[in-house]
């Protein structure tokens, strides 16, 4: 495939939708890992739980009109995942660093094992399940409409997620969470209820991941446990680490950059460099991306943006100041 083959609507809309979902996942993980300083390696577990909860709801309770079912499935997915966040967060309160990581990793694996073995009349174990398209049926004529509607919905929720996380972080609760990250013992001494905030962060992070899962299932009507493997979880973690643990804009940038890189390699968009290089790169992506993680940790563990947002960069400030002065200057003249 050459570079210009991608400039068609189907392709772009599909990948933009997935980018949106991954941004939601990475942001919710950033809340747990980056802003609160905890270390969860099982975020794909919450994603899977939300997706399967929404799927089960749609498959077994399908007695309401389409759009209403859609909204309800989102609520179901997010709530069930949030409950699991409570279930995972509570026991893991007194676990530090690596123990928490392995415990959450274990949780992710348990979820995956359970879903791979789950056999009911509509869910076929490792083959996953298929739900009816709720909002727009999947036919050849409606494909453009479907893509547009789902793109709009997904990105609405992405912006919602960004707003939620930003507002949490900027509030007093956010300051408590940041204190929790910087020094837990000192935070306790100052009177912050670390238990409450740890659980809160887990529940909100898991809930947002579940929401992303429900959207994912609705968009991609047939899913299977292969979509929720540990490798996907590590990729989401890599998005967070590359972008900066503690930076919303960094995470968004990292998702866009890494996801595009991965897809371009897989589709051999660099074939113009030479066919062999294209094929080689596609095969070796699985080897390259953990290498990226290692090199990142060795050279720049704070990622692209560290703990700062893009709005804090001097360049950004100069640009906005310039725009603002251009607005006020004409008024001043009058």
Partner 1 sequence: MAGAFASYFSLNYIPVEKLNLPHPLPSVLALLLAFFLSALTSATLAVLVERFAYRPIRQAGRISALLTALGVSLFLQNFGIQIFTAEQKAYPESRRWLRIADLKEGAVFDCEPYVQFSTRSTEGTVDRVKKFVAVRGAPLSQKEIESLQQTFIVTNTKPLITGFAPQPVSTLEQEKTFLTERGISDEELLSQLLALADYSQCVMELSPSRLAMLEKVCDFYHIARIDGVFYESPISEGSKKVLIVVLLGLSTLALTLFVKYTKSGKAMRAVSYDIQTSKLMGINVNRVIALTFFIGAFLAGICGVVYGMRYGKVWPYMGFLPGLKAFIAAVLGGIGSIPGAVIGGLILGFAEIMVQAYSPPAYTGYRDAVAFGILILILIARPRGILGAIEGEKV
Q: Which of 11, 66, 83, 106 binds partner 1 (CB under 8 A)?
A: 106
Q: Positive or negative CA dihedral for 55, 61, 67, 70? A: negative
Strand partners, 113: none
Q: Which of 98, 193, 226, 275 binds partner 1 (CB under 8 A)?
A: 98
Using CA atoms, how far residue 284 sits from 125, 271, 275, 277, in Å, is 30, 15, 14, 10
Q: Is 67 in the site for partner 1 (CB under 8 A)?
A: no
Q: Which of 231, 277, 313, 319 binds partner 1 (CB under 8 A)?
A: 231
Task: Say which residues have a Cβ less than 8 Å from residue 235's Cβ, sequence separation at least 6.
Answer: 258, 262, 289
Residues 192 and 176 sit within 8 Å (Cβ to Cβ): yes
Specify the stretch interacting with partner 1 by CB under 8 A; choose among 15-23, 197-205, 216-224, 285-293. Answer: 285-293
Under rule CB under 8 A, how many of the chain's residues touch partner 1? Answer: 39
Site string for partner 1, 297-326 (x = CB under 8 A): xx--x-------------------------
In the block, tokens 């996801």 appear at 259
Q: Which of 54, 92, 203, 217 binds partner 1 (CB under 8 A)?
A: 92
Specify the stretch interacting with partner 1 by CB under 8 A; choose among 170-178, 204-212, 219-227, 286-294. Answer: 286-294
Residues 257 and 289 sit within 8 Å (Cβ to Cβ): no
Q: Which of 12, 64, 68, 113 binds partner 1 (CB under 8 A)?
A: 113
Q: Is 187 in the site for partner 1 (CB under 8 A)?
A: no
Q: Is 117 in the site for partner 1 (CB under 8 A)?
A: yes
Q: Is 127 in the site for partner 1 (CB under 8 A)?
A: no
Residues 303 and 296 sit within 8 Å (Cβ to Cβ): yes
Of 184, 227, 235, which is closest to residue 41 (Cα–Cα)?
235
Specify the stretch interacting with partner 1 by CB under 8 A; choose among 141-149, 205-213, 229-237, 325-333. Answer: 229-237
Specify the stretch interacting with partner 1 by CB under 8 A; choose among 4-12, 74-82, 195-203, 294-302. Answer: 294-302
Q: Is 7 in the site for partner 1 (CB under 8 A)?
A: no
Least separation in angstroms between residue 60's CB and partner 1 is 20
Please state the φ and ψ torsions of residue 129, each to the nearest 5 degrees.
-145, 165
- The DSSP call for residue 124 is B
Residues 239 and 26 sit within 8 Å (Cβ to Cβ): yes
Q: Is 91 in the site for partner 1 (CB under 8 A)?
A: yes
Residues 239 and 255 sit within 8 Å (Cβ to Cβ): yes
At 247 the three-state DSSP class reads: coil
Pick 189 or 332: Cβ nearer partner 1? 189
Q: Is 170 in the site for partner 1 (CB under 8 A)?
A: no
Residues 266 and 288 sit within 8 Å (Cβ to Cβ): no
Q: Is 132 in the site for partner 1 (CB under 8 A)?
A: no
At 59 the three-state DSSP class reads: helix
- The DSSP call for residue 129 is E
Of 240, 257, 249, 244, which is closest to residue 316 (Cα–Cα)?
249
Least separation in angstroms between residue 101's CB and partner 1 is 5
Q: Is 290 in the site for partner 1 (CB under 8 A)?
A: yes
Q: Positive or negative CA dihedral for 174, 198, 28, 160? A: negative
Q: Is 234 in the site for partner 1 (CB under 8 A)?
A: yes
Instruction: List residues near partner 1 by CB under 8 A.
Output: 39, 41, 91-92, 94-99, 101-103, 105-107, 109-110, 113-114, 116-117, 119, 185, 231, 234, 237, 241, 283-284, 286-287, 290-291, 293-294, 297-298, 301
């Amino acid at each position: 495939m050459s570079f210009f083959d991608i400039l068609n609507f189907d392709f772009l809309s599909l990948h933009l939708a997935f980018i949106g979902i991954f941004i939601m996942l990475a942001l919710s993980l950033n809340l747990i890992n980056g802003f609160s300083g905890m270390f969860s390696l099982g975020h794909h577990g919450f994603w899977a739980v939300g997706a399967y909860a929404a799927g089960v709801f749609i498959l077994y309770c399908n007695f309401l009109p389409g759009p209403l079912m859609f909204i309800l499935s989102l609520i179901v997915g997010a709530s069930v995942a949030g409950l699991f966040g409570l279930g995972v967060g509570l026991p893991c309160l007194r676990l530090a660093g690596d123990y928490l990581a392995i415990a959450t990793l274990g949780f992710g694996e348990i979820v995956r094992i359970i879903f791979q073995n789950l056999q009911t009349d509509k869910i076929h174990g490792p083959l996953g399940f298929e739900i009816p398209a709720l909002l727009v049926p999947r036919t050849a004529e409606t494909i453009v409409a479907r893509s547009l509607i789902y793109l709009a919905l997904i990105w609405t929720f992405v912006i919602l997620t960004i707003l939620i996380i930003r507002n949490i972080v900027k509030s007093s609760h956010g300051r408590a969470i940041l204190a929790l990250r910087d020094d837990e013992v000192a935070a306790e001494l100052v009177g912050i209820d670390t238990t409450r905030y740890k659980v809160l962060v887990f529940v909100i992070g898991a809930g947002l991941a579940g929401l992303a899962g429900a959207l994912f299932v609705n968009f991609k009507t047939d899913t299977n446990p292969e979509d929720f493997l540990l490798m996907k979880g590590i990729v989401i973690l890599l998005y967070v680490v590359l972008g900066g643990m503690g930076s919303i804009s960094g995470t968004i940038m990292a998702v866009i950059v890494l996801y595009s890189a991965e897809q371009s390699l897989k589709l051999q968009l660099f074939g113009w460099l030479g066919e062999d290089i294209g094929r080689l790169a596609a095969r070796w992506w699985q080897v390259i991306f953990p290498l990226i993680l290692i090199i990142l940790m060795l050279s720049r563990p704070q990622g692209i943006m560290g703990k700062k947002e893009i709005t804090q960069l001097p360049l950004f400030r100069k640009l906005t100041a310039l725009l603002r002065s251009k607005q006020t200057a004409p008024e001043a003249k009058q």
